[in-house]
Structures are given as structure tokens and as C-alpha cells.
Structure 1
Amino acid sequence: MKKYTAYILALFASALFVLSSCKDDDIVDGGEYNSERLFMPMFRVEANTNDSSDPYACTIASNAIHSTSNRINDVQLYWYGVEGASGYRIRCKVQGTDWDRNSVLDTIVGPEVLELLHEDLQYSVGYSYAIQALSPKGDAYNSKWYGMGDGSHQKDYVTITTGDRYEVPSIFWVEDVTFKSVRVYFNNTVESTSEYEEFINNGAEIVDGKWVFHDIQIVPTADNPDLESFYHTMTEEDFANGYVDFDGLVSNGSYIVTGNNNNVPRVYDRNYNKAFIRMLGEVGAPIAIPAIYDAGDTIMAAYYNTDGLQASRLDTILTNYMGDNTITEGQVFYLEGGKNYYLASSVALTKGLTLETNPEDLAAGKGRALVYLGVGTSDESGNSGRAANFNLGRNAQSGAENGVLLSFQDIKFNEINFTVQKFFNYMDKNGTGGNSNYAISANYFMNMNSQGLGFTMGELSITNCTFSGMIRGFIRFQGPNRQIIQRLTVEGCVFYDCGVYDANGRGYAWFAGPGDRKDSNFFQNLTIRNNSFIDCPRHSLVGENGNLAWPAGTTWNIVIENNTFVNFSTRSSNSGHGLILETRYAPRGSKFTVKKNLFVMVRQNDSDNRPLNMKGMRIDTKAIEYDFADNYATTVPNWTTSNLIDGLFSNRAFSNTSDGAGYNSGALNLGGYGETRIKFGDNRNENEDDAVGYQLAPAELFMNPVPLAPNGHKDMHRYNVDGFYYNLTPRVMAHPIYTKGIGDPRWRNGDAWK
């Protein structure tokens, strides 16, 4: 244990730094406003030309009218000239990486040059470009950079995404991975060429019915870039064996395996499929991360201590772990119970781990650790909160990583309270008593990079946690590459003071599928159980609307069970906003289980005229299975909306016979049509002979369930969460909501919720 404690302390010592940024050198007096400094050049993009048909717009070369290339992985740049410039400096990086550490282009052209063809780039990757006019008077008079921006003005950025690479044959795979060795197998027999015509047109070769390749390479990923690379030139013996053995790799190291036909002139057309490997290692004992409140932490001093609170920095420790091959994947980290931690920047998760409050601290009654996903504000006025989140996977950071499919073990969060120190929702900005200068927080608990690598993982598990301050979304899936999560579990959590991203309370769905990648699957096994969603308006609970040609065998198994939903996404009357299930084009053979959930509609007082528009589901696919049963509600204000469906829904009820679980009179539901309808306690049927014939009002079931303020006030979606414990009266304890164990069980048992 001493070894790991020393390791953590060393990480803290290296963590306290000021993030570097690109800036101009040797600025003269007057800085950017000096009259002798050159004007800033600009790339020709629609944001500054206001012309969507500009023939000289920057784009991938295949779309550029005047380009000398028609390739989808070349980028054609054009820019406006600056009078008096002695030349132009053009820089490029992969989107989302660092300008200095991850530069892929840094070149200077003459003053007469107003275009550049950037050739042979990675496929399916976004490239950010920047340009500066150079002055003959010296660097101090160079223009400002266009393309680096200041973090908020989107027109100051230029990012161009290359096209998707054509299909390539998967001829390499790995087996027998040990601590230091691996066997790379291959089968280069040509089974078919019909789907690989572009590969052949770009130089791929076939000789005697075999795909031609000359070497196999194993290179480290960007998580551990300093590890040794391995290159093996193929021999006749290797081809006869059908495999090549590699030794000398580093335990816990992550690598990429591929093979190349070196007769192909362009780098990113040479390789075949890529395989990701992580070497074996021995998982050590849990590592305790002490809460070190360091007086020398400049971030705390600048952004946090103004409130008289303290927290220990966490993001650098987790980021260092991702690339540290001395610690095996699957490591358990313990946070101190009752102590505060914070993320100053987002953490890219590329390696399995468990992060939880130390069980001994919980047993001793110290309570959970608190993690702030962002501290302070990004402006002096305090109107724009700083936010960070966890990212699943990361961008490619080297050519070798292009097209790779990462693979990592389970990621688990347990017994932690997550929040953001400074966050503002739509009502904070626009509601009565709000501040119109606030910048609405566009943050998440977990997000993905827009150009993120593909990945597969076993389980993403979030259990016994609380969440507040995540405004735009909870878990957002995106990116151009294939991503698989075999099991996604959220259980035993409480969500409050989240959402309300816009007037309709939308943002992204709680679980927001990308909708554009048919071979991705995040809902293979999605379980949402024993949670409380207290208001927190968002677009929907589960959203995935891509009308895709799902591969054979793709199915979803979505379980939503024993949750309590309070005023769930009720702001908008639009039938497409705020559904529980917005999964119109679910794969055939999928199953949706929605059982024993409790729905609560409640106003602040009798004069509170807040909208209470509850929507259920929309699924157009018919070859699926439903298991809807025992979903209950407390009484709904009788003047909320006329003609409610099943006493609760303003439209798109669970029982809808066209695109709900009630399709074809409930023929697809295991319990029949009756179980697709909401129950209150007084709607008896043949399967419910013991139903109690009365309903419970919210204030009768709960101690204090009402919102803190009425409609239009900035606190209208906030609550005293302690008020949701049950009133254990005889009337409550005799009702099916209690006797059947409907909803989140914590409120009936008096369990601590935080």
C-alpha cells in the first residue's frame, strides 16, 4: 500500500500546473490593437463568406471545384490575402488535441500563395487549421492567429473532417496475449473482391489469390507513446505459419497491430485492418487517493476558494493512470468519505477502472466523497461556470491510431456524489429572479469526442451516486466510429437540479444514442433501475432515432424498472419532446421492459400554472417484445391538461395502439393490453383482484414533494429532496404503491440518499 500512496503523492506534485495555450510571441505595445500589426487573414469558409456555394471554400479536396486532387482524405485550403504580408504560416492539428504537442502541419508559404493542398491525411478525422500573416518588420508585427479562437467564438475556428475510408479486409487478429508477448495471426486469402474495389483502386494488390502485405507493425497508442514500436518484415516461413510471434512488449502497455503493403504510395492507404491490444498485468490492491487540500493549488486559489471551500484535484491522477503501464487495467481507486475532489479538465476514459468512496469510510458514517465536475467560472463576472466531464474514449492522436477499435475493461462509479460548483440552467438565466447575463451550462456527466475512436467495452456501471448540475445531458454518445457497450447499468442513483437546457427543457436525452452508426450498440443491455429522476427536464430518457439498416443479430434489451419520476420533462407540449422512450427504429428482436415505475405530477401550490405535459413512448418497429407491468402514478392535478390518456399522459401513452406497447391491443406485451396502462390504485382488472380502490396524492405519499417555486421562477425545477421520504401512514402502507414496492425503494425505507 505504501507503494501506491507514494505514487498518488507523486502525481499530486506534478498535477499543479497552469495549462499552456497558443499565444502570439513578443507582442508590441498596444498588443493586438497596435496599428502597425498586420490584419488577421481568414480561411474562406461559409461562416465569414456567407456563401454556401463559394467555389473557393475550404473543404475536403473531392468537394473543391478548383482543387488538383479529388481525394476524400486531402484538404483544400483557401484564404484571403493580407496587404503587406511577407508570407503566411499555416498550422494544423487533429481536432480536440493540443496545438503544440499534436501538430500535423506547420509550414510557411510566400505572400503570393493563397491556397494549400494538405494531402494524405487520416480518414474520418476532423482537422483544425490556423493561419497567421507574417510581417516583414518581424514577429512582433505578425497578425493574430485565425483558427485558434478564444474558446467561445465559433467563427474563429476552422475544422474539416475527411471522408470515411473504404472497406478494407480484416486479415489480422491477435491471440495468446501475455504480460510481454503476443501472437499476431493473419489470413490473407482473398475470399471476395466485390466490396474492396476502392481498396484495390487505391493500390491494394492481389497475387496468387492472396492480399499482398510486406510487414506487421505493433506501435504504442497515444496513451503510452514512449513505448518501443515493433516492425517485422515478413518471410516465407511466416507466411507458411500463418502467424508471427512478438516478444519484449511492456506489461499493461497498449498497442496497435496492423500490416502494410509498402508498394502503395500513400501512407493511409497502405494498411489493412487494425487491432488494439493491452498487455496483461496484475491488478494490485485498491489505491486510496487522499483528499489533499493544497494551499499551492493555483486553480483552487483562482476559482474555488472564493466560496471558502476546499477540494483535491482528481483529473490529473485519473488521466495519468490511463497512460501508466505500471498500473494494471481494472484498478480500484478509493476516495475519502466526506471529502471533496474536483476535475479541472475532462478525463478521457481509455482503460477500465473502478472509482468509489472507500467502503470503510462509508461504514464509519463519514458519507460519500463529493466530486465537482468543474470549479469556478471562466469569466471575471462569474456568469459562465467552468464544467468538465468524463469522455468515453478519445480522439486519434497519431496516424497509427486511425481506424483502430479500442478495447477496455469495465468502468464503474460507485457511492459518489457528483455536482458542478457553478452551473446555470435556462431558468437561472430567464426565470423570475434569474440573471440574464448567465451563460447556460452545456455540460454532461459523460460525453464523447466528435472525432472519437471506436471502442468496445464490457460494462459501464454507475451505482449509488447522486447527480446535480449536469445541464445539457447525462450520457451522450457520438462520433464517426463503431462503439460497443455490452452492459450499461445505472442503478440506485438520485438525479436532481439537472437539465432545463432551453425553454423546452431539452438538450440531449439522458441516454442519447448517436443515430448514425449502424454497427454501434449502446443499448445491448441497458438497465435503469431503482433511481429517482426529480424533475430535471431533458429531451427524453432513452433517445436513438437513426433509421438504420441494423446488422443481423443486433438487438436492444432495455430495462426501466422501479424508478421514481417526478415531473419528468413536462415543459413542452410537443409530442416529440420529453418521452421516456424515443426509439422509433429499434432493431427487430429487441425487448423493452418497463415495470414498477412511479410517476409523480405535482405543482408548487394551487396557483402554480406550470405545464405538466407527460409523454410516454414512440417505437415504430413491430417485431419486438414488451414487458410493461405495474407502472403507477399519484394523482394528477385535475386542471393540468384536459383529456389525459390513462389519467397521466398528454399524448403518446404507453398504451398507444399504433406506436406504443399497446400495439395491436397489447399483442406484443407479455401482460396484455391492461398492463400497458398506468395504474393509480383504483383501476382493477382480472389480474389485480387485491387492488386498493383509492388514489394517493403526492403530498399524501411524500413528506414534502412540491417544487421550491411556481412556474416562471428560476427555482421552479428545484426541490427539497429530503421531502421525498414516504409518510408511513396506514393509508400509504395499504396502497399498492407501497405493498408492491413501486418506484425507487429508498424513499420507503428511509435510506440515506446522499
Structure 2
Amino acid sequence: MKNLKRITSILSLISMIVLGGMLKSCQADNFLYNKSEDLFQPKFVLAAPLVKSNSIALVWYKVNDADTYTVELHTDNYYKSLYKEYTVTETQVFMDDIPYKTQFYIRLRANHRDPGHNSQWAYTSALTEERPVYAHILKPVEKVDITETEVTVNWTVDSSNPVDSISVVPAQSKEIPAIGRKLTAAEISSGQAKIEGLEKSTAYNVNVYDTKKPRVYDKPYNQENFRSAGPSPGQILVMKGDDLDALLRANNTDPAIPEGTVYFLEAGSLFKITPFTISKGFKLTGGTQGERPQIEMNGNWNITEGSFLSSLAFENIRFYQTIDASYFFNSGTAWTVGEISFYNCVFNHFKRGFWRHQGGGKYKEIGNFDMSYCTFDEVGGHTGPYGTFVFGSAGADNVKKAIFSNCTFMRDYYQTTDKNRNFKNLFDYGTSKYPIHLTYQNITIYDYAYNRSLINIPEAVGSTLIFKNVLLASACGKVIQAIGANSTTIYENNYTTTDYLLGAASIQGTELGISAQDLFVNPAAGNLMIKNSNSPIVTNRVGDTRWLP
């Protein structure tokens, strides 16, 4: 009804304009057309088209001997991208239900019965209005939901904003086919759909729709975008059987290999490396068409003294060690790194620690440290462990921001029954006085850091700690051992099991009243899926969301 009123009002206005225009044209000498074979170029009644929402009205004066009129709507001012064409006999056209907030370039021609005598084009343009407020229910596409050929799309289920269809369209290439289909009843109720048949390393736009809406451009909800996994041009493809260790070492000192080179590791591959001292940043990313690649590390990484690295990145890889006393990273040199990131990685059998800084006075700076969708399992067990993250450069460590999200820390006394031989902590900032922004969000902690404090920021005055959506199912000690003066602490939506003996009050959390054994499917075997789908852990999306049913 609202649309009908809008159309009626626009058509009424057009009629008034046309009537006035006809009276004016009868009196104007310059519109008393002379007889000729070629038609005169049409002249618009208004200085600009009339725009209402996502509709455009166009009115022009009658051209003598014109058989019809052609109106073209283009999206470029070279008139090479035709959106739609209209052929009419009247001196007006109403272009309804076209894209919102789009600049259209319009041209009008009078058509003779003999096309050789058509008029020249008359030109104008119009910008449709912004789309009215609508629901944004489509969720951003997470990397963990993307493979080389598939994507899992999620949206908020809302009865007032129903969804019945989905489309995944290449963002840049017209040669690659788009994928669109109706959703099944199960997909509609769950708010999740898997789309198959993607091309590797391709940018896509994804939309969900309510196709029952009457107007075309009101059917879609918000659009999200993503890139499918897979090697991109310029990446170095490392296949099964290749010597990754030799390749990384050679390129580390080769001036022809640029900073930030990406190495794409074939899915299902296994590599053995002896880490070295890094002199320029790189990225290791694992393929997704099969099991994540595995790297056995016979030692730890370091960074060359005085180096400035833009980034170090690791994605979709399982790292493990078979030696007794080592780390993933251990450095006593001075350096600066802009960004360090880990995504969807698994870490096993690092017995003494994971990330350690040492070397008194050796200044080390990390601009941003990001770890998400990662799992620490069956680590620790050494007689002299240092911890998960230990910054021991005697106050010379400067980590500006560190964010941990959707991660699991569990079972940290590998190959021993002595729980005291654990990883000791999550994050020990030592005596650094540089303020840090530290976030733990959607974290699951099980059987980890027995009787040990998790976070220690004793001297970093003015720091920020965010501890949100954390599930604490371990007999560890205090969450915060110490935090610098004038620091901000934010706690939100945290939960504890009965295994955590200190209660949930200190983290402004909620005590579940059940043990980890009752909460998880099989925690002793490493399966932390939540048993009860009605648990507040599920309904409030607490802990590492990969464990939610």
C-alpha cells in the first residue's frame, strides 16, 4: 500500500509537469519544429530527474514525428555499462525499483520509424537515495569457516526478518559462476548454510534474502565478503616432499625474496624444520583441502639482533616438538615487529614453554599480537617450565596490544602425572613498565596452570585487561596475580566449573555448579564439546565457540 501511494503521487506530479510543459511548448517558438527527416534532440522538462527512494521519474517535451522514445540507464558516464533500457511512446518514464544509492547516467533518444533518422541523445543523471534502515542479520564470515572450495555462512535467526535464500557471487570476476539457491528448512531454523563449489583464492560477496518481499532491492539483508582459501599469485607453493626447512633458510638471506613472502603448504603434508634466526617477516599458511599441514620443530625461532620486521604470520598449521626442553619462540636479542598473528593453529608437545623473551635490557617491541582459533593441548611436562607467554627482558619488553580469541588451553603436563610440571601461566609480562592492552575473549581453559596465577602485569601502569566470555574449568590459581596501577579491568560473561576452587566473584563471573567432567563430553580425552545444548555456556556463547554444539 505504501509503495502504491508513492507511485501514485509520483505519477500525479509527472502529469502536472507534462501538462505545464505542453502549454509552454505550444507558446515557445523554439519548439515549433520544422519538418525534416532527422528528429530533433529531445529536451527535458525538468533541470534534473525526479528521484524518490530507489525510483527515478523522467519527463521530456514531445518531439514531432517521433514514433517512440528510448531511455537508457547506465552506471558509468561513458555509457558502456547498460543497466536497463526502456522504450516508450509517452513523453515520460517511471523507472521503479532500481538499486539504492547508485549514480545513474541517463540518455534519451527520439526514435523515427526509419532508424536512420533517429535523434541525437540527450543526457542527464540521477542518484537514487539511501536504502531505508533494514536489519543486518548476516554475520561476518570467519576464516575458520572458509576452505578452498566451501564456505559456511551464518546469520541471526529472527522471525521478524525471515531468510529463505542465499547467494555467493564473485566480487571481481564475471567469468566465475555465481552460486545461489533456496535454503532448506533445517538451514533456515539453524541460521547456517554450507555453500560448495567455490573457486580457490577468489573474493566473494555473500547475501541472504527474504524473497517474499515485493520489491527486488528490499529482499537482501546486509552483504558480507570473504576470500576462499588457496594459493594466490606471488605465493610460494610448498608441496608434500618439498624441503621447507631449506627453502625458508635460503630465502631468509636472499635479498631477492621480499619481506612478507607467503608460503602455502599443501594440505596433509608433513615437514621437519630446525628453526633459525629470522631476519625478515614471512607467513606460513596451510591448505584446507584435507588435514592441516604439520610441522615438527627441532628447536625454536629467534629474530636477528636489531631487525625491523613488518609481520610474522602462521595459519592453519599443527606445530609440535619431539625434543624435551624447547619453545616455539625464544629470543634474547633486540628487535621490532609490527604484527605477529596465529590463526587456526594447534600446538602440541612444547614441554618447557611456548613464547619466551630474555636478555636483560634487550628492547623488544610488538605492535600487535593476535592469536585466534588456536589450541594448546598436551604441552608442558618439563621439570623447569617457563610458561605459555613469558616476557623476561628485565623491563625491556613492549607489547602494545595482545588479543587472544576463540582459543583453548588444556592439558599442560604432557607425559607426566605431576600437575605441578605445568605451563605456569597464560601471560607473564614480567617487570615491563610499558602499558599493554591485553584481551582474552571466548577462551576455554581446562586442566591447565594447576595452582598457578594466569595473568601477571605487575608494573605496566595504565594497562587494560579485558577478560570476557571465558570458561574456566581448571584448578588454577588467581586469574590476576598483579596488575599495574591505574589500569582498567573489564570482566564480562565469564563462567567457572567446580574445578576452579577460588569461585567466580573475582572475575565477576557465574559459577555453573558442575564439574568439567559433567560439562564436557570427554575432557580427559581432549573432547571439550558441551554435553547439554541448554547449558548457559551454549546459550550465552561462552568459551571457545568451536566447542559449542
Contact 2:477 2:502 in 1 (8 A): no
Aligned to 1:89: none
CA distance in structure 1 between the aligned counterparts of 2:464 and 2:483, rounded to whole angstroms? 13
How much has 1:414 moved relative to structure 2? 0.1
Aligned to 2:300: 389
Summarize the alignment of residues 392-403 of structure 1 with structure 2, pairs less than 5 Å apart: 393-395=303-305
Q: 1:370 aligns with which of 294, 313, 317?
A: 294
Q: 1:389 to 1:705 in 2, by over 3 A?
A: same
How much has 1:700 moved relative to structure 2? 3.1
The C-alpha deviation readout for 1:378-424, integer Å capped at 9, x for no partner, is: xxxxxxxxxx1222x125xxxxxxxxx3211111000001112x34x
CA distance in structure 1 between the aligned counterparts of 2:503 and 2:351, rounded to whole angstroms? 31
How much has 1:341 moved relative to structure 2? 0.3
How much has 1:544 moved relative to structure 2? 2.2
2:240 counterpart letter in structure 1: A
Summarize the alignment of residues 355-754 of structure 1 with structure 2, pairs less than 5 Å apart: 355-358=284-287, 362=288, 364=289, 366-374=290-298, 388-391=299-302, 393-395=303-305, 405-420=306-321, 422-423=322-323, 441-448=324-331, 450=332, 452=333, 454-479=334-359, 480-502=361-383, 507-518=385-396, 520-522=397-399, 524-536=400-412, 537-546=422-431, 550=433, 554-570=434-450, 572=451, 578-586=452-460, 588-601=461-474, 612-636=475-499, 644-646=501-503, 655=506, 676-681=507-512, 695-706=513-524, 720-721=525-526, 723-727=527-531, 732-749=532-549
CA distance in structure 1 between the aligned counterparts of 2:350 and 2:478, rounded to whole angstroms? 22
How much has 1:620 moved relative to structure 2? 4.7
Are 1:336 and 2:259 matched, yes or no? no
How much has 1:596 moved relative to structure 2? 0.8
CA distance in structure 1 between the aligned counterparts of 2:378 and 2:243, rounded to whole angstroms? 24
How much has 1:515 moved relative to structure 2? 4.3
CA distance in structure 2 between the aligned counterparts of 1:541 and 1:698, rounded to whole angstroms? 19
CA distance in structure 1 between the aligned counterparts of 2:454 and 2:260, rounded to whole angstroms? 33
Q: Which runs of 5+ in 1 are unaligned?
A: 1-282, 293-311, 375-387, 396-404, 424-440, 573-577, 602-611, 638-643, 648-653, 656-675, 682-694, 707-719, 750-754
Contact 2:345 2:375 in 1 (8 A): yes
CA distance in structure 2 between the aligned counterparts of 1:633 and 1:556, rounded to whole angstroms? 26
CA distance in structure 1 between the aligned counterparts of 2:476 and 2:491, rounded to whole angstroms? 21
CA distance in structure 1 between the aligned counterparts of 2:279 and 2:311, rounded to whole angstroms? 10
How much has 1:559 moved relative to structure 2? 0.3
Contact 2:459 2:485 in 1 (8 A): no
Q: 1:628 to 1:368 in 2, by over 3 A?
A: same
The C-alpha deviation readout for 1:575-601, integer Å capped at 9, x for no partner, is: xxx211122112x22100011111114
1:412 counterpart letter in structure 2: A
How much has 1:726 moved relative to structure 2? 2.4
Q: Which has the larger radius of gyration?
A: 2
How much has 1:698 moved relative to structure 2? 2.3
1:698 counterpart letter in structure 2: A
2:279 counterpart letter in structure 1: T
CA distance in structure 2 between the aligned counterparts of 1:461 and 1:645, rounded to whole angstroms? 32
Which SS does the other structure have where 2:353 is aligned?
coil
Which SS does the other structure have where 1:699 is aligned?
helix
Aligned to 2:248: 318
The C-alpha deviation readout for 1:659-700, integer Å capped at 9, x for no partner, is: xxxxxxxxxxxxxxxxx333124xxxxxxxxxxxxx443233
Contact 1:490 1:527 in 2 (8 A): yes
How much has 1:284 moved relative to structure 2? 6.3
CA distance in structure 1 between the aligned counterparts of 2:498 and 2:340, rounded to whole angstroms? 36
Aligned to 2:198: none
Contact 1:318 1:347 in 2 (8 A): no
How much has 1:460 moved relative to structure 2? 0.5
Q: Which runs of 5+ in 2 are unaligned?
A: 1-231, 413-421
Contact 2:435 2:463 in 1 (8 A): yes
1:514 counterpart letter in structure 2: G
Which SS does the other structure have where 2:257 is aligned?
coil
Q: CA RMSD in A?
A: 2.1
How much has 1:613 moved relative to structure 2? 4.7
Which SS does the other structure have where 1:635 is aligned?
coil
1:338 counterpart letter in structure 2: G
1:636 counterpart letter in structure 2: D
How much has 1:443 moved relative to structure 2? 0.7
Q: 2:240 aligns with which of 280, 287, 291?
A: 291
Contact 2:478 2:502 in 1 (8 A): no
How much has 1:315 moved relative to structure 2? 2.2
CA distance in structure 1 between the aligned counterparts of 2:294 and 2:479, rounded to whole angstroms? 34
CA distance in structure 2 between the aligned counterparts of 1:559 and 1:457, rounded to whole angstroms? 19
The C-alpha deviation readout for 1:194-218, integer Å capped at 9, x for no partner, is: xxxxxxxxxxxxxxxxxxxxxxxxx
2:295 counterpart letter in structure 1: V
Which SS does the other structure have where 1:746 is aligned?
helix
Contact 1:494 1:532 in 2 (8 A): yes
Contact 2:496 2:509 in 1 (8 A): yes
Contact 1:535 1:565 in 2 (8 A): no
CA distance in structure 2 between the aligned counterparts of 1:636 and 1:589, rounded to whole angstroms? 32
CA distance in structure 2 between the aligned counterparts of 1:541 and 1:289, rounded to whole angstroms? 33
Q: 1:567 to 1:614 in 2, by over 3 A?
A: farther
Moved over 6 A (4+): none
How much has 1:725 moved relative to structure 2? 2.0
Flag the structure with more relative contact order, 1 or 2, with Cα contacts below 8 A and sequence separation at least 6: 1
CA distance in structure 2 between the aligned counterparts of 1:614 and 1:725, rounded to whole angstroms? 24
Which SS does the other structure have where 2:511 is aligned?
coil
Q: State how many pairs are aligned.
A: 308
CA distance in structure 1 between the aligned counterparts of 2:511 and 2:538, rounded to whole angstroms? 12
1:739 counterpart letter in structure 2: T
How much has 1:556 moved relative to structure 2? 0.5
CA distance in structure 2 between the aligned counterparts of 1:447 and 1:418, rounded to whole angstroms? 15
How much has 1:337 moved relative to structure 2? 0.4
Contact 2:496 2:503 in 1 (8 A): no
The C-alpha deviation readout for 1:235-293, integer Å capped at 9, x for no partner, is: xxxxxxxxxxxxxxxxxxxxxxxxxxxxxxxxxxxxxxxxxxxxxxxx9611101222x
How much has 1:463 moved relative to structure 2? 1.0
Which SS does the other structure have where 2:548 is aligned?
helix
Q: 1:613 to 1:462 in 2, by over 3 A?
A: closer
1:545 counterpart letter in structure 2: G
1:645 counterpart letter in structure 2: L
Higher strand share: 2
